[in-house]
Amino acid sequence: MGKLRGRITSGRRNYMSFMLVPHRRGKVRTIRLSSYRTTLLSVTAIMLVSLLMLTGYTLSIARQNQELKAHYEQEIAQILAQKAELENYIAGQTKELMENSELISTAVSTKTISENLIEQFKNEYEDMVIAYVDNNMKTIKSVSRGSSKEMTFKESVQELRSLIDLLQSAKLSEEEANEKIEKKEKELTSYLDSLPTYWPVDNGNTVHSGFGRRLHPIYKKYRNHDGIDIGNPNYPTIYAAGSGKVVFAGKNSGYGNYVIIDHGNGFRTLYAHLKSYSVKVGDWVKKGQKIARMGNTGTSTGTHLHFEIHINGVPTNPLNFVERR
């Protein structure tokens, strides 16, 4: 191969040469390109590469968009299906709610009607029971005051207790006692407690001197004995024969120390010849409450209790009223 000689002249145009050298035999070929062509080819190559890259990127973006679109369409379809199910569920619940609302309204209406009917029946029942009790109480109160001979006082007391038992059994329920019946029961129980039926001493059933005319043991004259004498010095406690208010607690020459209790409804009891008393005027006492101790004060010949019952100011035989224990 010959030597390549030459020189670069500043006034000449620059070229780019490509030499094609065969491996074994053949001529060496030279391709010469001017500089502007080189630039153009380079720019063209760059643009082609850029275009290819842009096209690839664009195709990739388009493919991703299609995939995302398909995914979103699938999700939207699922959401729409769920929405349809939810709407159907809400529609079913709304229908059921409306039906339940109608049932509740009907039930409330029925309950109100039932409660009104029960209340009406309750009132009618109460009125019927109270009317029966009041009708029988007229006779009982009349007998208890000694103004009727249809039955004895003790029989009327037993009838009164039967009426109280009737009222107790007439209650429709223990949890909700009927108002009128409960009130009437308390009224009759209070009336029964006020009646002087409680034997005023313990274990002292022997009456040493009865009610009526007798020869006075001290004055030796026949006089009315307005009560009964009960003597038992071994059991000196004196009890109230019935509930009531103490209207006297003091002494005089005949009775000695004595107490008077007003039980209402015209009843009063008197306890005389007392050793002492534990109540004062104005006190309210209950039936069977301790009020005094047996003594021998006043015109008395020994330790005993002189006991009287007055009805509307008239002395009456206590044995017709008190029940021995």
Does the pLDDT value for residue 251 go beyond 60?
A: yes
pLDDT band at 36 (very low <50, low <70, confident <90, very high): low
Among candidates 173, 182, 83, which has minimal Cα distance to 126? 182
pLDDT of residue 98: 76
pLDDT of residue 275: 94
pLDDT of residue 32: 66
pLDDT of residue 217: 65
Does the pLDDT value for residue 1 go beyond 60?
A: no
**276, 259 Cβ separation under 8 angstroms:** no
pLDDT of residue 4: 47
- Helix or strand holding residue 84 (H, E): helix 35-144
Max mean pLDDT among 74-88, 149-163, 242-256, 310-324 falls in 242-256
Q: Give the range among 185-199, 201-215, 263-277, 305-319 with minimum mean pLDDT.
A: 201-215
CATH entry 2.60.40.1220 includes domain 207-320: no
Instruction: Count the neighbouring beta carbons within 10 Å of the beta carbon of residue 185.
Output: 21
List of residues 6+ apart from 135 with CB closer than 8 A: none
Does the pLDDT value for residue 16 go beyond 50?
A: yes
Mean pLDDT score, 175-196: 86
Integer Cα distance of 54 and 320 in angstroms: 131
More confident residue, 288 or 149: 288
pLDDT of residue 199: 94
pLDDT of residue 15: 59
